[in-house]
């Protein structure tokens, strides 16, 4: 199927909320090995965010049940819950690997040195999907994916600081997710707060550069940064730690 038809199919699948179909269509578009338009890039991102989001949500629910079941000491039930968690984990890992392969083999690879916005978008995505892997990984495997996530976020962060306005929604979205990575994955609340506060303050200082088209996106992300800062600083005052919700 040609690119335009696949994109049409992805739009249709999105309206039907059939995100697995949407992701499959956008995966095929990406594998045609042509640069994605902004719309295509967003379709790819939305599709996989929903596909992986469903698995992340399921994993959290089952992990919580697993902890409660372990406390009850019912061996048969513990085994069943563990096996189900591992099944969801495998699905989640397969989705993340799919996205990471597309990023490495096509999207990041094909970005020219002047396509700063696309490069930051895709590197942020790479950081995100390694972060999702880190949420379910343990031991050496976790250390490896955490390192890969930080590396991708950091590269995106450096490019965004040099080439994008502080009010750009992609730069702000990166700061939001990178700070969540520090808070939830690295358990480094001070770094998380510093990153989020700097991004928020820099954007406030240059509010006059806000693009009309992206005004809503930018201000929404700024609000999320501020919400996280409020939550994290109160957590630190309460118990010098804790978990965020993003």
Residue 121 sits in the same domain as residue 88: no
Give the end of a domain, one of 110, 134, 152. 110
Per DSSP, helices labelled H in 16-110 are 19-31, 38-72, 75-102
Residue 101 sits in the same domain as residue 122: no
Give the end of a domain, one of 84, 110, 136. 110
Average pLDDT across the chain, whole number: 94
**Residue 192 domain boundaries:** 117-246
Residue 246 scores a pLDDT above 60: no
Residue 228 sits in the same domain as residue 210: yes
Give the end of a domain, one of 110, 139, 174. 110
Q: Per-residue confidence at 145, pLDDT binned at 50, 70, 90?
A: very high
Q: How many domains does the chain have?
A: 2
Q: Per-residue confidence at 108, pLDDT binned at 50, 70, 90?
A: very high
Helices (H) and strands (E) counted in the chain, each on its own, are: 9, 0
Residue with tokens 């001070």: 190
Residue 149 sits in the same domain as residue 194: yes
Q: Indicate the pTM of the whole model.
A: 0.93
Residues 14-37: pLDDT tens digits? 999 999 999 999 999 999 999 999
CA–CA dist 147, 140 (Å, integer): 11
Residue 90 sits in the same domain as residue 127: no
Residue 70 scores a pLDDT above 90: no
> Among 130, 121, 116, which Cα is nearest to 46's?
121
Residue 230 sits in the same domain as residue 146: yes
Q: The domain that contains 6 carries what CATH number?
A: 1.20.190.20
Residue 140 sits in the same domain as residue 200: yes
């Amino acid at each position: 199927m040609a690119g335009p038809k696949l994109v049409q199919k992805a739009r249709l699948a999105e309206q039907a909320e059939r995100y697995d179909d949407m992701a499959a269509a956008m995966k095929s578009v990406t594998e045609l090995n042509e640069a994605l338009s902004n719309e295509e890039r967003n379709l790819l991102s939305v599709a996989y965010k929903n596909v992986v989001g469903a698995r992340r949500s399921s994993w959290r629910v089952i992990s919580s049940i697993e902890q409660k079941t372990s406390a009850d000491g019912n061996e048969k039930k513990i085994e069943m819950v563990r096996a189900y968690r591992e099944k969801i984990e495998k699905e989640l890992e397969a989705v993340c690997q799919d996205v990471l392969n597309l990023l490495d083999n096509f999207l990041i690879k094909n970005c020219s040195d002047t396509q700063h916005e696309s490069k930051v978008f895709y590197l942020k995505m790479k950081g995100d999907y390694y972060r999702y892997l880190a949420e379910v990984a343990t031991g050496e495997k976790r250390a490896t994916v955490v390192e890969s996530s930080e590396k991708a976020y950091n590269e995106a962060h450096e490019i965004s600081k040099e080439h994008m306005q502080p009010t750009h929604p992609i730069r702000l979205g990166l700061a939001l997710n990178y700070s969540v990575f520090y808070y939830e994955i690295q358990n480094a609340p001070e770094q998380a707060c510093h990153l989020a506060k700097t991004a928020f303050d820099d954007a406030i200082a240059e509010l006059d550069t806000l693009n009309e088209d992206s005004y809503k996106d930018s201000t929404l992300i700024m609000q999320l940064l501020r919400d996280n800062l409020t939550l994290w600083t109160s957590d630190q005052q309460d118990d010098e730690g804790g978990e965020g919700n993003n």
